[in-house]
Amino acid sequence: MWTSPPKSWLFFLSNIFILSYLSSTCFALDFSSNNANLACSQARTSLGESIVQGVNDSDYQSAAEGYWNLFNTEFNPTCIVFPRQSSHVQIAMRSIFEFDVDYAIQAGGHSGMKGWNNVNSGILISFKFMNHISYEPSRDTITLEPGIRWGESVNALEPQGVSPVGGRVDDVGTGLLLGGGISFLSPAHGYAADNYVELDVVLVNGTLVTATESNQYSDLFRTLKGGANRFGIVTRYEVRAIHTGRASDKTWFGGLVTYPNTSFDAVARAVSHYTRDVDDPKAAILIYYGAIVLPDDTMTNFIGASFYYNGTELPDHIFGELLSIPTLSTSFGPLSWHDITFSLSEPLPSNGHGQLFEGTALAGGEDDLYEDVVRHWVNFTKTFTPDFNTSVLAFTPIPLSQTLIGRERGGNVIDPPLVPYNSIHVQVTLPFGIPQISPEMEEGRQLFLKQAPRSPGLPLYINECDAKQNVFETYGQYDFLKETHSKYDPTRFNIRHTNGPIGL
């Protein structure tokens, strides 16, 4: 579709011109003659000092340090671009591409993977100021700019009674879409990315294209349903509007449950059975085993669960086994979609803690394997107390209804088999201010993955995995993913200059 620019004598003359320009300006950057400085200066000349900022400028520090994961605050971009529209991203990417510079994209900044959304000695593109959201009744679609977070989207659209399929935590940003995206709406509406209608995408050479399910960029459109940050920069998402109602419309029922530690195995078996047997798109659950290190360096465990049903009660034939297990507390009642969105809210800011993710997947009905996963996680937490702050083992059932909706809407590259399964996520939060994981704990995390392998043929969920896991390789459309990447990025520029998922 395009070719690399020629490295001719004109290129070197342009560098000399830019260096001459730098010597007569007061751009607040390190003026060593490296490509990142050249690219920043060229972009700043085109876009202005309010959009391209150096380390001493007003918005630089808040963007460079405004990450949920402490590990991602340790990077020092040469400059940060704060686009207000797609053309600004195009100009920045043209400079990045021309000067062969490392780069990263910051949307919500909620990544658990170190280095996926920040960069050292390169260019960071921050979508801090591209956070517009709107609803178009005639198309029944929602348009999102990439700087929006899911809680903001639900609040903004509440008066219209609609919502996008988005994250289960209000602080999560639109990067969730590129990884597929799991929502409490997913059993009825598929992965969040299955609800794409139209995408504006800036390719690595700065070309802007609009991709849909049926136009000439339909292959790109499909790969952005799970392809993460490897296929371009999405500057506009148009997605289906889900008519979830207003905050006063209590069309859901459910809430939160806690179980005693003595129920660890019983809950694991019940989740296995729920996953195997339940395919009602009105039902959604999240089960999470937790471990918290107390101030005296001892650990306490708990089991929490979120149960939701789009109706007036929790049907016994769906939730009966889970509710028959003795509980410590229950909090059920009529709920609105607004209530559910903010039920798992996190305090802000929370970037004082290093975050680590890893994931696996199990088919429903494999009771022994579910119990084994819980036991291996418990062993991990006991072994490394008090070297962590919190750890969570979470189970998210992926019903057949979710997979079938994705196929009906043109498919996604995750392309799970027609088997109900659980996406299993482990999160470890380090103590406040600790900048890196110990080698021993890292070895323990990798051992857990070996002890809790995924069921054959099931995909991993890229938004909740470790950077070392080859998630793409587990996708049903892995070959298509590789072919499409070769088409849109033939020089592998993104792979060479951006941290992200391995395997392409």
Is there a single domain that holds both residue 141 and residue 214?
yes
Give me the mean pLDDT over the 392-400 stretch.
98
DSSP characters over 363-414: ETT-HHHHHHHHHHHHHHHHHTTTS-SEEEEEEEEE-HHHHHHHHHTT--SS
End-to-end CA distance of the chain: 19
Is there a single domain that holds both residue 190 and residue 222?
yes
pLDDT above 90 as % of the chain:
88
Q: Which of 237-241, 348-352, 359-363, 417-421 has the lowest mean pLDDT?
A: 348-352
Domain ranges, residue 190: 133-245+479-497
In a domain, 85, yes or no: yes
Tell me the H-state helices in 24-149: 35-47, 60-65, 86-98
Q: What is the pLDDT of residues 245-295, one digit of tens each?
A: 999 999 999 999 999 999 999 999 999 999 999 999 999 999 999 999 999
Residue 189 has pLDDT above 60, yes or no: yes
Q: Which residues make beta-bridge pairs with 196?
A: 239
In a domain, 415, yes or no: yes
Question: How many domains would you assign to the chain?
Answer: 3
Is there a single domain that holds both residue 430 and residue 490?
no
Rounded-to-integer distance, Cα 183 and Cα 164, Å: 10
In a domain, 167, yes or no: yes
CATH number of the domain residue 326 falls in: 3.40.462.20
Query: Can you give the pLDDT at residue 109?
Result: 85
Give me the mean pLDDT over the 439-465 stretch.
96
Q: What is the pLDDT of residues 151-161, one digit of tens each?
A: 999 999 999 99
Is there a single domain that holds both residue 168 and residue 235?
yes
In a domain, 504, yes or no: no
Query: Can you give the pLDDT at residue 16?
Result: 33
Is there a single domain that holds both residue 150 and residue 174?
yes
CATH number of the domain residue 197 falls in: 3.30.465.10
Give me the mean pLDDT over the 432-437 stretch.
92
Give me the mean pLDDT over the 102-121 stretch.
93
Residue closest to 426 by CA, chosen among 440, 412, 447: 447
In a domain, 4, yes or no: no
In a domain, 425, yes or no: yes
Q: Residue 333: is it exposed, middle or buried by C-beta count within 10 angstroms (0-12/13-18/19+)?
A: exposed
CATH number of the domain residue 48 falls in: 3.30.43.10
Amino acid letter, residue 205: N
Q: Which of 126, 161, 179 is the last residue of a domain?
A: 126
Q: Which of 107, 126, 145 is the last residue of a domain?
A: 126
Is there a single domain that holds both residue 307 and residue 188?
no
Is there a single domain that holds both residue 292 and residue 367?
yes
Q: Which of 21-25, 56-60, 304-308, 325-329 has the lowest mean pLDDT?
A: 21-25
Is there a single domain that holds both residue 66 and residue 167?
no
Is there a single domain that holds both residue 360 and residue 378?
yes
Give me the mean pLDDT over the 311-325 stretch.
97
Residue 403 has pLDDT above 60, yes or no: yes
Is there a single domain that holds both residue 302 and residue 399?
yes
Strand locations in 221-369 (E): 233-240, 252-259, 283-293, 299-309, 329-335, 355-363
Query: Can you give the pLDDT at residue 83?
Result: 98
Please indicate whether residue 11 or residue 52 has the higher confidence score (pLDDT).
52
Q: Which of 91, 126, 161 is the last residue of a domain?
A: 126
Residue 484 has pLDDT above 60, yes or no: yes
Query: Residue 1 — very low, low, confident or very high, per pLDDT cuts 50/70/90?
Result: very low
Are 271 and 397 within 8 A, CB to CB?
A: yes
In a domain, 111, yes or no: yes
Query: Can you give the pLDDT at residue 255?
Result: 97
Residue 220 has pLDDT above 60, yes or no: yes
Please indicate whether residue 20 or residue 197 has the higher confidence score (pLDDT).
197
Is there a single domain that holds both residue 229 and residue 265?
no
Q: Which of 171-175, 198-202, 206-210, 237-241 has the lowest mean pLDDT?
A: 171-175
Local structure of 23: helix, strand or coil = helix
CB atoms within 10 A of CB 423: 24
Is there a single domain that holds both residue 119 and residue 142?
no
In a domain, 192, yes or no: yes
User: What sign for the dihedral angle of Cα 224, 418, 377, 294?
Assistant: positive
Query: Residue 346 — very low, low, confident or very high, per pLDDT cuts 50/70/90?
Result: low
Query: Can you give the pLDDT at residue 350?
Result: 57
Q: Which of 51-55, 106-110, 274-278, 319-323 has the lowest mean pLDDT?
A: 106-110
